[in-house]
Amino acid sequence: MGSRVTSGVLSGAILSLSVVSAWAGECRPDLLEWRGDGGSARFTVELAETSEARSRGLMYRESLPRSEGMLFVYPSPQHASFWMKNTLIPLDMIFADAAGRVTVVHSNAVPGDETPIDGGDGVQFVLEINGGLAKRMGIAPGSELRHPAIDQAQAAWPCTE
pLDDT digits over 142-161, tens only?
999 999 999 999 999 999 86
Check if the beta carbon of residue 92 is closer than 8 Å to that of residue 109: yes
Query: Please, which residues have CB within 8 angstroms of residue 38's CB and are 6 or more apart in sequence?
Result: 137, 138, 139, 140, 143
146 three-state secondary structure: strand
pLDDT digits (tens, 9 = 90+) for 54-111: 999 999 999 999 999 999 999 999 999 999 999 999 999 999 999 999 999 999 999 9
pTM: 0.84
Q: Residue 132 is part of which domain span?
A: 28-146
Residue 44 lies in a domain: yes
Residue 137 lies in a domain: yes
CA distance 20 to 143: 21
Give the helix/strand (H/E) hosting 136: helix 133-137
Number of domains in the chain: 1
| Domain containing residue 93: CATH number | 2.60.120.1140
Residue 153 lies in a domain: no
